[in-house]
């Protein structure tokens, strides 16, 4: 008898459910719900008041998340014809850190009429970047106090992370902070709403909230040093009781069963993060095989049996990706976004006209032209910092650089140079990991950019010298969440005892292997050395022109330096 | 009774005549003849044979130049209604170095049937860049022999100059070299055809053929060291008898009178160079006032009473621009070409569509958007080296650089950054001159780019801190040639005794003065310091990435490193 699991993947713009067969991971149905209020970055979606948001804000509506369950799960049940009784488990993954304030019963502050017009009552999406002053305070205070958790995060906490956002609420809306009984990741909040049980997943706690299995959270004195009112934030608004990955958080409530059409009591897994669930869904359950989720930005993850300090990575967390391993994560903040910017702002109309005439995507056309070039033939080299540099420089203030243009330089040549630049950026990350004791023998890529671009995959293999393979599913995170759902259900219900077992049964890779081409590697080795020299010159303080330019721009716009 | 003069300006694509009143420089008529064979850079224009040209070649057809006289002078006489008897003089200016091999009677080798299929028999246009190996030999040999003329040219002779081209003929077509009784600038050749008198003008001799009034040409030993067959090139194929600027070369022959409709014997001035005749035509007959001819590239000229070595300028020549002064010349190889490249290769279609809808030029549209930005607001900085750097680095192998781009960077922001980069390049030249004893107090700009772009003029004034004014004529070189025609005719015929007298009577400036804006200057001073730092880092050998990229590109294309 077949058993099924459902995975729900919450992205930035929409939520997506898939229903898979637990025997082999086969995908029977999929459904997407685009959030009705999307990313809220200009004004609050209020019918009766106009509340504008400052620059760098990015909010979401918590009720959009519940609508994902209400719309997509009935849809996949209907489309697959699967009997809800045969669905043994449900897992979810989320963007992170995406967090919200709630009451003790789970009611989000954003739905409380007297708080609804306060932007701080809403969900802060991962890419809410308005908490930089708070992040700066968190870093400066930690450095001053010699906090031993700071090196685990490459020496810097991001403005995107949990306590930066929490501190911004306290700074700017102390009344909202006071009325919040809970400050919680949206990932955990939706599991709470499905099961009636409040759990806190170890992934976001570890990667976004400075928690570790051995040390717990930073101590009370540290939070008090940031702000006396923050001293007891963990004990009053969070919990020290962090769940174990793969555990069953609870069973579906009657209410949630009504939303979804699933049986009450259906196992729901502890929440997880989109990139991280993609690791076992890409067949990776052991050290040495990096997973790269390549989309607008790229997230790199690799497991190791032991603990290493790797300067400039986003962080490493014990049991943070898979139980039994230290999970290392690094990031590139501008990959698909880079190519999208280029098409929007720097590609002449004749290329778009040709793509339209031939009925192909403009990226496919540019890659076709770029593929006709040999390594080195563009004469160009770029630093892929259009959106700053996450790993290994951890510096959002850096800017892009293109060198070598001539009067004969064409758009496809620049496009190829930008692709190559992101590949050099990946090689910097891989070399930082390997130099510090974390081997990377091959890379499994997932995400839309990886699947659609054989040229990009080959360039990455040639630049890094590592074979690249593609995850078998085109919905890798959702598949990973379904796998965790099957683990939450457990073997007695027809699921799995461990995520490793689930991965071996349900995950697969595409056949093709992008092997590094030795001739191309030789040229890229030369170019990479030049890249590293520019990377260090502009990125490590020798020439701070990028920051000077950013300061002048801010001055010109009257934003202060 | 009114007197008139005609100036003929030979450009890269066409020749242009104007007929002006010698009393006040008023332009009565103008006519243009586009060369029927244009710039010959792909194949020779032969009906019966297909002779392809290698990369970097640029030739012209000498007969096109004669057709300019035959077409345009009758046209300006007809359109103005002026009596040919009232036209007292004719002057011409030419691109340089543009040279050709000829027989002793002036017959160009290109029209001799048995030589016509040899590309080396044709005119080598200024932008023929295939003689770089010869230029390298000329420089290395001069450096080895300690030739004292080398420092006058900023330490480097260009592949565009006279002996680079002559040596290429000898290297690659010794039979053509042997059959050439004369190697001559096209400027001097057309005057020879008009007058029957072979003269050699001091401007091209001085700026392009290493001649000086005090030292003459390099000596026989130097030429012999380059190639024994070249030892007597000056005495056998040129002359040591260099004419004086402003002199009458001769009178129109009967044949040339027949071509043009002018009277036989009409005074014809010694030839000159397009940029140089623009100096008195821009009212400049004294030190301290720089003339900048701004087009696809920019030529800067300034006079000084004395001799200074200025590293990296194109050269200085005594009496080379105006009698009685040392004329200093510097250049930027990528100005209008820079903006044209940008529009062709990097501007999205929606900007072109908007320009089309509004019935304006795309450059006007981009400048409109760019003008709305404050200095520093783009957050960008560029090195204007898309076509290498002429002054002060004299390095064609350098490439362009853009730094500071973000995902919000727009095409008008980049456009403005490229304009600013060319302005920083001008400031480097001005500072090199001033540091070495050649003051620049104001700049007179001429050329299409200057006239059409108030934004560009203001940015140049703000960046350099010098007031910018515009030459009064939109055909400055042709006006300058007409002025020299009036000097050749002399005061007895109703002309002038000196070019200074002609300039005071016939030249004027436009009213508007672009004064440096102090607030903008303060920001540009900061940006300029950053520009200079990048300029020196990438341009003076500390980081040779641009050359590495060029080498890799050549390798990839199978061109050798």
User: Tell me: the pLDDT tens digits for B142-199?
Assistant: 999 999 999 988 888 989 999 999 999 999 999 999 999 999 999 999 999 999 999 9
Q: Pick the residue from chain A with its C-alpha nearest to B554.
A: A377
What is the total residue count of chain B?
561
- Judged by CB atoms closer than 8 Å, whether chains meet at A402 and B399 is answered as no
- Residue pair A271/A185 in contact by the 8 Å Cβ criterion: yes
**Burial class, A540, CB count within 10 angstroms (exposed 0-12 / middle 13-18 / buried 19+):** exposed
- Residue pair A195/A235 in contact by the 8 Å Cβ criterion: no
Q: Closest Cα of chain A to B187: distance in Å?
A: 29
For the four alpha carbons of A517, A520, A526 and A529, in that order, the dihedral sign comes to negative
- Judged by CB atoms closer than 8 Å, whether chains meet at B345 and A409 is answered as yes
Q: Closest Cα of chain B to A516: distance in Å?
A: 18
Residues of B in contact with A355 (CB under 8 A): none
A interface mutation test: which of B370, B371, B404, B530 has the most A CBs within 10 A? B404
How remote is the C-alpha of B27 from its chain's centroid?
Answer: 23
* Out of A345, A399, A530, closest to residue B404 by CB: A399
Reported for B353-357, long-range contacts at CB under 8 A and 24+ positions apart, including other chains, are B353/A349
* Out of A348, A399, A545, closest to residue B530 by CB: A545
What's chain B's average pLDDT?
96
> What is the predicted pLDDT for the residue at A415?
98
Going by pLDDT thresholds of 50, 70 and 90, the confidence category of residue B555 is very high
> What is the predicted pLDDT for the residue at A561?
42
SS3 of A94-136: ECCCCEEEECCCCCEHHHCCCCCCCHHHCEECCCCCCCHHHHH
A interface mutation test: which of B333, B346, B416, B544 has the most A CBs within 10 A? B346
- Judged by CB atoms closer than 8 Å, whether chains meet at B376 and A533 is answered as no
Residues of B in contact with A557 (CB under 8 A): 374, 377
Please calculate the CA angle A443-A445-A447 and round it to the nearest 5 degrees.
Answer: 165
pLDDT in tens, B96-142: 999 999 999 999 999 999 999 999 999 999 999 899 899 999 999 99
User: What is the DSSP-derived secondary structure letter of residue A232?
Assistant: T
pLDDT in tens, B183-210: 999 999 999 999 999 999 999 999 999 9
- Judged by CB atoms closer than 8 Å, whether chains meet at B407 and A523 is answered as no
pLDDT in tens, B22-48: 999 999 999 999 999 999 999 999 999
Residues of A in contact with B337 (CB under 8 A): 407
Q: Which of A321, A302, A311, A325 is nearest to A151 (CA)?
A: A311
- Three-state secondary structure call for residue A69: helix
For the four alpha carbons of A347, A352, A355 and A359, in that order, the dihedral sign comes to positive
What is the total residue count of chain A?
561
Residues of A in contact with B386 (CB under 8 A): 405-407, 409
- Judged by CB atoms closer than 8 Å, whether chains meet at A341 and B376 is answered as no
Q: Closest Cα of chain A to B378: distance in Å?
A: 6
Residue whose structure tokens are 């974390």? A438
Secondary-structure breakdown of chain B: helix, strand, coil percentages, each rounded to the nearest 5: 45, 20, 35
Neighbours of B54 (CB within 10 A): 9
pLDDT value at B518 more than 70: yes
Contacts of A164 (CB under 8 A, 6+ apart): A131, A132, A134, A135, A138, A157, A158
How remote is the C-alpha of B16 from its chain's centroid?
Answer: 15
At B499, list the tokens: 């070019």
Residues of A in contact with B339 (CB under 8 A): none
Distance CA B185, CA B208 (A): 10
Q: Closest Cα of chain A to B538: distance in Å?
A: 10
Q: Closest Cα of chain B to A398: distance in Å?
A: 8
User: What is the DSSP-derived secondary structure letter of residue A465?
Assistant: -
B interface mutation test: which of A373, A536, A545 has the most B CBs within 10 A? A545
Going by pLDDT thresholds of 50, 70 and 90, the confidence category of residue B561 is very low
- Judged by CB atoms closer than 8 Å, whether chains meet at A553 and B378 is answered as yes
- Residue pair B354/B365 in contact by the 8 Å Cβ criterion: yes
- Judged by CB atoms closer than 8 Å, whether chains meet at B404 and A549 is answered as yes
Q: Closest Cα of chain B to A554: distance in Å?
A: 7
- Judged by CB atoms closer than 8 Å, whether chains meet at B405 and A410 is answered as no
Q: Pick the residue from chain B with its C-alpha nearest to A336.
A: B407
CA R_g for chain A: 23
SS3 of B347-403: CEHHHHHHHHHHCCCHHHHHHHHHHCCCCCCCCCEEECCECEECCCCCECCCCEEEE
User: What is the DSSP-derived secondary structure letter of residue A170?
Assistant: H
- Judged by CB atoms closer than 8 Å, whether chains meet at B400 and A405 is answered as yes
- Residue pair B460/B429 in contact by the 8 Å Cβ criterion: no
- Judged by CB atoms closer than 8 Å, whether chains meet at A407 and B334 is answered as yes
Distance CA B254, CA B263 (A): 8
Cα B533 to Cα B182, B389, B403, B539, B543: the distances in Å are: 47, 15, 13, 10, 12
At A222, list the tokens: 């540290």
Beta bridge partners of B267: B89, B251
- For B485-554, the DSSP string reads HHHHH-GGGTS-SSHHHHHHHH--EEEEEEPPPHHHHHHHHHHHHHHHHHHHHHHSSS--HHHHHHHHHH
Q: Closest Cα of chain B to A98: distance in Å?
A: 22
Q: Closest Cα of chain B to A324: distance in Å?
A: 39
User: What is the DSSP-derived secondary structure letter of residue A296?
Assistant: S
- Judged by CB atoms closer than 8 Å, whether chains meet at B405 and A411 is answered as no
User: What is the DSSP-derived secondary structure letter of residue A515?
Assistant: P
Q: Closest Cα of chain A to B523: distance in Å?
A: 8
Distance CA A72, CA B115 (A): 81
Residues of A in contact with B338 (CB under 8 A): 407
Block mean pLDDT (10 aa), chain A, length 561: 95 96 98 97 94 93 98 98 98 97 98 97 95 94 96 88 98 98 98 98 96 96 98 97 95 98 98 96 98 94 95 88 94 93 97 98 98 97 95 90 96 98 98 97 95 96 98 96 98 97 98 98 98 98 96 86 42
Q: Closest Cα of chain A to B404: distance in Å?
A: 4
- Judged by CB atoms closer than 8 Å, whether chains meet at B556 and A375 is answered as yes
Q: Which of A347, A436, A344, A335 is nearest to A386 (CA)?
A: A335
pLDDT value at B560 more than 70: no
At B522, list the tokens: 């303060």
Q: Which of B419, B476, B402, B410 is nearest to B445 (CA)?
A: B476
Distance CA A320, CA B456 (A): 56
Distance CA B415, CA B310 (A): 31
Distance CA A415, CA A371 (A): 10
Q: Topology of domain A283-471+517-561, per CATH?
A: Nucleotidyltransferase; domain 5 (3.30.420)
Please calculate the CA angle A366-A533-A380 and round it to the nearest 5 degrees.
Answer: 25
Contacts of B19 (CB under 8 A, 6+ apart): B4, B5, B6, B27, B28, B29, B30, B76, B77, B80, B82, B87, B482
**Mean pLDDT, range B483-492, rounded to an integer:** 98
- Judged by CB atoms closer than 8 Å, whether chains meet at A549 and B406 is answered as no
Superfamily of domain A4-275+475-507: ATPase, nucleotide binding domain (3.30.420.40)
Contacts of B397 (CB under 8 A, 6+ apart): B388, B546, B547, B550
* Out of B374, B403, B537, closest to residue A401 by CB: B403
Task: Tell me where in chain B the CATH 3.30.420.40 domain(s) lie.
Answer: 4-275+475-507, 283-471+517-561
Cα B243 to Cα B200, B213, B493: the distances in Å are: 6, 10, 21
Residues of B in contact with A55 (CB under 8 A): none
Q: Pick the residue from chain A with its C-alpha nearest to B413.
A: A345
Cα A342 to Cα A172, A379, A418, B414: the distances in Å are: 36, 18, 9, 13
* Out of B347, B406, B553, closest to residue A377 by CB: B553
- Judged by CB atoms closer than 8 Å, whether chains meet at A379 and B552 is answered as yes
Q: Above 0.95 for ipTM, yes or no?
A: no
Q: Pick the residue from chain A with its C-alpha nearest to B338.
A: A407
Q: In what order do the strands lie in the sheet with A509-514?
A: A315-318, A326-332, A298-304, A288-294, A440-446, A468-471, A509-514
Q: Which of B314, B316, B347, B315 is nearest to B333 (CA)?
A: B314
Backbone φ and ψ for B66, nearest 5 degrees, come out as: -70, -35
């Amino acid at each position: 008898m077949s058993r099924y699991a459902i995975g729900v993947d919450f992205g930035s713009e929409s939520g997506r459910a898939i229903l898979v067969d637990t025997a082999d991971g086969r995908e029977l149905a999929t459904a997407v719900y685009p959030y009705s209020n999307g990313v809220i970055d200009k004004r609050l979606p209020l019918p009766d008041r106009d509340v504008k948001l400052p620059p760098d804000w990015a909010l979401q509506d918590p009720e959009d998340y519940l609508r994902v369950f209400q719309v997509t799960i009935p849809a996949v049940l209907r489309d697959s014809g699967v009997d809800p009784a045969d669905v043994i488990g449900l897992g979810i993954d989320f963007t992170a850190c995406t967090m919200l304030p709630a009451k003790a019963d789970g009611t989000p502050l954003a739905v409380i009429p007297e708080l609804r017009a306060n932007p701080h009552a809403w969900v802060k999406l991962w890419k809410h970047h308005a908490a930089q002053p708070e992040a700066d305070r968190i870093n400066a205070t930690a450095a001053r106090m010699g906090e031993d958790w700071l090196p685990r995060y490459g020496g810097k906490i991001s403005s995107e992370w949990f306590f930066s956002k929490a501190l911004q609420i306290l700074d700017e809306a102390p009344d909202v902070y006071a009325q919040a009984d809970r400050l919680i990741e949206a990932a955990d909040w939706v599991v709470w709403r499905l099961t009636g049980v409040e759990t806190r997943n170890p992934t976001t706690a570890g990667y976004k909230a400075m928690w570790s299995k051995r040390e717990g959270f930073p101590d009370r004195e540290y939070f008090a040093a940031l702000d006396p009112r923050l001293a007891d934030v963990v004990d009053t608004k969070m919990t020290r009781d962090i769940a174990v990955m793969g555990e069953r958080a609870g069973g579906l409530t009657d209410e949630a069963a009504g939303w979804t059409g699933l049986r009450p009591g259906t196992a729901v897994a502890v929440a997880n993060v989109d990139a991280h669930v993609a690791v076992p869904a890409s067949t990776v359950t052991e050290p040495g095989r990096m997973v790269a989720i390549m989309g607008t930005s790229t997230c790199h993850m690799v497991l190791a049996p032991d603990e290493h300090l790797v300067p400039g990575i986003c962080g490493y967390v014990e049991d943070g990706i898979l139980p039994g391993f230290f999970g290392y994560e690094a990031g590139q903040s501008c990959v698909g976004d880079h190519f999208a910017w280029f098409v929007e702002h720097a590609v002449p109309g004749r290329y778009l006209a040709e793509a339209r005439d031939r009925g192909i995507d403009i990226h496919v056309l540019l890659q076709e032209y770029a593929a006709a070039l040999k390594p080195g033939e563009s004469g160009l080299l770029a630093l892929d910092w259009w959106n700053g540099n996450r790993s290994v420089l951890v510096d959002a203030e850096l800017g892009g650089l293109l060198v070598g243009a001539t009067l004969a330089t064409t758009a496809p040549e620049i496009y190829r140079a930008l692709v190559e630049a992101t590949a050099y950026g990946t090689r910097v990350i891989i070399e930082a990991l390997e130099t510090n004791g974390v081997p990377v023998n091959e890379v499994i890529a997932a995400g839309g950019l990886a699947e659609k671009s054989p040229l990009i995959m080959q360039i990455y293999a040639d630049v890094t010298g590592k074979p690249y393979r593609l995850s078998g599913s085109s919905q890798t995170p959702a598949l990973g969440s379904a796998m965790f759902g099957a683990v939450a259900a457990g073997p007695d219900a027809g699921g799995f005892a461990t995520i490793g077992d689930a991965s071996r049964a349900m995950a697969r890779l595409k056949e093709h292997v992008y092997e590094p081409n030795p001739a191309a590697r030789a040229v890229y080795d030369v170019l990479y050395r030049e890249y590293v020299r520019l990377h260090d010159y502009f990125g490590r303080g020798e020439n701070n022109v990028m920051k000077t330019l950013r300061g002048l721009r801010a001055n010109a716009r009257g934003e202060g330096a």
